[in-house]
Amino acid sequence: MTNLEKRIGVVAIIVNDPEKSHEKLNAILHFHSNIIVGRLGIPRQHEKLSIISLIVEGTTDEVGALTGKLGQLPSVSVKTAFAK
């Protein structure tokens, strides 16, 4: 498998104190919307926490670019899993 082959995967995003990062996070997701197949967001306002699950389809490089930018945001944790 090469980096140019599209893969299906899941990106899990946990945002602590979403008010600090939500504008930049949404801008990044919008920029990479071409590889996002689905998105589910669960706000946990009483805990100042948001959980976002993305279904993505793209090359390893494309998904890596998305997750790399997200991981640089303050209070954001990102994990990715790909289908075999």
Query: Per residue in 6-51, pLDDT tens?
Result: 999 999 999 998 888 999 999 999 999 999 999 999 999 899 999 9
Q: What DSSP string describes 7-46?
A: EEEEEEEEEESGGGTHHHHHHHHHHTGGGEEEEEEEEEGG
Query: Of 50, 60, 55, which Cα lies nearest the Cα of 33?
Result: 55
The fraction of the chain above a pLDDT of 70, given in percent, is 96
Q: What is the pLDDT of residue 4?
A: 84
Structural domains of the chain in order of their starting residue, each with its CATH number: 7-82 (3.30.70.1150)
Q: What is the pLDDT of residue 84?
A: 86
Which pTM was predicted?
0.91
Query: Per residue in 42-63, pLDDT tens?
Result: 999 899 999 999 999 999 999 9
Query: CA angle, 20 as apex, 35 and 81 as ends, to 5°?
Result: 35
